[in-house]
């Protein structure tokens, strides 16, 4: 069996409270992307064991994903294919909302993803599938929205997900299996 583990990175060190406008959400996103993970954050023991047994560890180039992956293994392949989806906010000017309000607006807007984003998710599914064929198992440290989109592509390619509907919390693992060809 080939196995894929999709792991959400550790908690971001970037924290924001309060209301933000359209320009503020762009600044928040930039700071969030640049931040690593919370100081003294540690991956769960079960995840550390899973990483030690994985054939290869890969990660998104985002600082929080790279830092999380390097807490699991010294040898990590970094790929822009695994980066978070473009979560562009709608052009709502003159309104200040909490981050959760922007998250809902971004979620609604993301129902119509650009074709280039969908192509990147498809390419990531193909790449991870090939790695799993070569190495038996792959642990990929990535992001919440990207992992959801990637999950759909993997299932469309014949991968079976263990415990569908799993959580999206930080350090959570979604497992996929497929008979090796």
Are 68 and 7 contacting, i.e. CB atoms less than 8 angstroms apart?
Answer: yes
Strand ranges (DSSP E) for the chain? Answer: 2-8, 56-59, 77-78, 137-142, 160-161, 173-178
Q: Mean pLDDT for the chain?
A: 92
Mean pLDDT along residues 142-155: 95
* One CATH from 3.30.70.270, 3.40.50.1240, 3.60.21.10, 3.40.50.300 for 2-13+37-86+115-178: 3.40.50.1240
Which range scores top for mean pLDDT: 29-43, 53-67, 80-94? 53-67
Higher pLDDT, 165 or 88: 88
């Amino acid at each position: 069996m080939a196995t894929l583990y999709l792991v959400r990175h550790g908690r971001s060190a970037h924290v924001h409270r309060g209301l933000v406008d359209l320009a503020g959400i762009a600044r928040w996103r930039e700071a969030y992307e640049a931040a690593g993970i919370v100081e003294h954050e540690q991956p769960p023991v079960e995840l550390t064991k899973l990483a030690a047994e994985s054939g290869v560890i890969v990660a998104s180039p985002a600082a929080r994903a790279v830092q999380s992956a390097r807490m699991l293994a010294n040898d990590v392949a970094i790929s822009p294919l695994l980066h978070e989806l473009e979560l562009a906010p709608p052009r709502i000017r003159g309104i200040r909302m909490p981050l959760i309000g922007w998250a809902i607006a971004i979620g609604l807007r993301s129902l119509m993803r650009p074709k280039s984003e969908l192509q990147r998710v498809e390419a990531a599914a193909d790449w991870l599938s090939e790695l799993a064929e070569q190495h038996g198992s792959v642990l990929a440290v990535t992001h919440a929205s990207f992992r959801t989109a990637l999950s759909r592509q993997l299932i469309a390619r014949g991968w079976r997900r263990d415990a569908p509907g799993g959580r999206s919390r930080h350090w959570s693992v979604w497992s996929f299996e497929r008979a090796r060809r």
